Amino acid sequence: MGISMGPNQYGKAEVRIVTVDRSTPRHSIKDLNVSTSLRGDLDEVHLSGDNAKVLPTDTQKNTVYAFAKQQPIGEIEDFALRLGRHFVSSAEGINGARILIDEYGWQRIPVEGTGHDHSFSRASDEKRTTAVTIDGDQAHVVSGLKDLVVLKSTGSEFWGYPKDRYTTLPETNDRILATAVTARWRYLHTDVDWAKSFESVRATMLEAFATTHSLALQQSLYEMGKAALEAHPELAEVRLSLPNKHHFLVDLSPFGLENDNEVFFAADRPYGLIEGVVRRDDVEDAPMAWYSTAEF
Ligand SMILES: O=c1[nH]c(=O)c2[nH]c(=O)[nH]c2[nH]1
């Protein structure tokens, strides 16, 4: 029976890096979590421990720090493209790279209207993300966001589902709909104003969540992805992962009180997990762009 080494990659996960732009007294900061993975002619290290083509993960980490000093980081997509292309063009035997970056948001502490020059508070749990794949001379950019928590206090129903002997869920014409959006969208090319596109895709998806009268979180998912694709020709597909953050009506009848959709128990687990891909019919799949991306 033959045994061989299958697909593999290796790199440094979660390089936490914060940079301070001190070029004026009004500082700005970038707060990133960067993961690098390299692929290529790596059979030998697995088969015999020969490290001749293994650029150490420690060197990969140092490259992230050095690149952050040599040139302003800029948008996370540009930083990831620079890093990925560097590894593929300079490391012998390496022909592919995946750079994952999550960006944490900070806002200025509001002092005297304009915000403090060098004091910040963490904006929220939300992260902006990118996953850049370099495959030979091809580059794929998949950007997105994580943990954007949203809630509708009405405009959501759930009924008409099959009932069997284990069904206890009551049908509802008016429930709370809440989720923490994780979305990733694949760009068709790299000639993009990343910051502008990010803000616009995010706003479009939020608007679709708000304005869709939802009969199921699945329907909201599709409407969010569809709206993003319709408004952004630079996108090929959108993948969404939406935990249904259930809000259950509390039974107040033991206290002789009615609960007119006002008092809820916010459960944290278990949760429904609704996931899906919304795509243009006329673009080709790009499996490499998604290979080993968390969540999908
Ligand atoms: O929007 C929903 N989709 C489901 O598939 C589902 N299942 C469930 O129990 N509640 C809900 N809500």
Angle between helical axes of 194-211 and 76-90 (0-180°, round to 10): 130
Q: What average pLDDT is seen over the chain?
A: 97
Q: What value does the mean pLDDT take over residues 22-28?
A: 97
Q: Same structural domain for residues 151 and 117?
A: no
Write down the pLDDT at residue 291: 86
Q: Same structural domain for residues 121 and 163?
A: no
Q: Same structural domain for residues 165 and 241?
A: yes
ipTM of predicted assembly, 2 dp? 0.99
For residue 108, say whether it is annotated as part of any ligand binding site. Answer: no
- Gap from CA of 216 to ligand 1 centroid (Å): 6
Write down the pLDDT at residue 173: 98
Q: Same structural domain for residues 17 and 148?
A: no
Query: Which residue has its alpha carbon closest to ligand 1 atom 12?
Result: 216
Q: Distance between CA atoms of 170 and 2, rounded to whole angstroms?
A: 55
Q: Which of 162, 158, 171 is nearest to 217 (CA)?
A: 158
Write down the pLDDT at residue 296: 57
**Listed residues 102, 136, 170: the one ending a domain:** 136
For residue 58, say whether it is annotated as part of any ligand binding site. Answer: yes
Q: What pLDDT, in 10s, does the model give residues 250-278?
A: 999 999 999 999 999 999 999 999 999 99
- Gap from CA of 99 to ligand 1 centroid (Å): 34
Q: What value does the mean pLDDT take over residues 189-214?
A: 98
In Å, what is the CA distance from 242 to each residue of 25, 64, 228, 237?
41, 31, 16, 16
**Listed residues 136, 157, 189: the one ending a domain:** 136
Name the residue range of residue 2's domain: 1-136
Q: Same structural domain for residues 106 and 152?
A: no
Q: Same structural domain for residues 88 and 176?
A: no
Q: Which of 271, 240, 246 is nearest to 156 (CA)?
A: 246
For residue 114, say whether it is annotated as part of any ligand binding site. Answer: no
Q: What pLDDT, in 10s, does the model give residues 69-114?
A: 999 999 999 999 999 999 999 999 999 999 999 999 999 999 988 9
**Which DSSP helix (H) or strand (E) runs through 227?**
helix 217-231
CATH at 129? 3.10.270.10
Q: Same structural domain for residues 188 and 110?
A: no
- Gap from CA of 167 to ligand 1 centroid (Å): 12
Bridge partners of residue 170, in order along the sequence: none
Q: How far is CA 103 from the centre of its chain?
A: 10
> By CB neighbour count within 10 A (0-12 exposed, 13-18 middle, 19+ buried), where does 55 fall?
buried
**Listed residues 108, 136, 164: the one ending a domain:** 136
Q: Same structural domain for residues 130 and 163?
A: no
In Å, what is the CA distance from 138 to each residue of 34, 185, 198, 281?
21, 17, 22, 22
- Gap from CA of 150 to ligand 1 centroid (Å): 17
Residues with CB under 6 A from ligand 1: 158, 169, 216-218, 244, 272
Q: Distance between CA atoms of 265 and 153, rounded to whole angstroms?
A: 14
For residue 51, say whether it is annotated as part of any ligand binding site. Answer: no
Q: Same structural domain for residues 161 and 226?
A: yes
Q: Same structural domain for residues 113 and 260?
A: no
The pick from 164, 177, 217, 245 for probing ligand 1's pocket by mutation, whose C-beta has the most ligand atoms within 8 angstroms, reads 217
Q: Same structural domain for residues 229 and 121?
A: no
Q: Same structural domain for residues 151 and 275?
A: yes
- Gap from CA of 181 to ligand 1 centroid (Å): 16
Q: Are 27 and 20 contacting, i.e. CB atoms less than 8 angstroms apart?
A: yes
pLDDT band at residue 293, thresholds of 50, 70 and 90? Answer: confident
> Which ligand 1 atom sits nearest the alpha carbon of residue 214?
1
For residue 63, say whether it is annotated as part of any ligand binding site. Answer: no
Residues involved in catalysis: 12, 57, 246
Split into its structural domains, the chain has a count of: 2
Q: What pLDDT, in 10s, does the model give residues 224-253?
A: 999 999 999 999 999 999 999 999 999 999
The pick from 221, 223, 274 for probing ligand 1's pocket by mutation, whose C-beta has the most ligand atoms within 8 angstroms, reads 274
> Which ligand 1 atom sits nearest the alpha carbon of residue 216?
1
Q: Show the CA angle centred on residue 32, arms to residues 241 and 120, nearest 5°.
A: 105
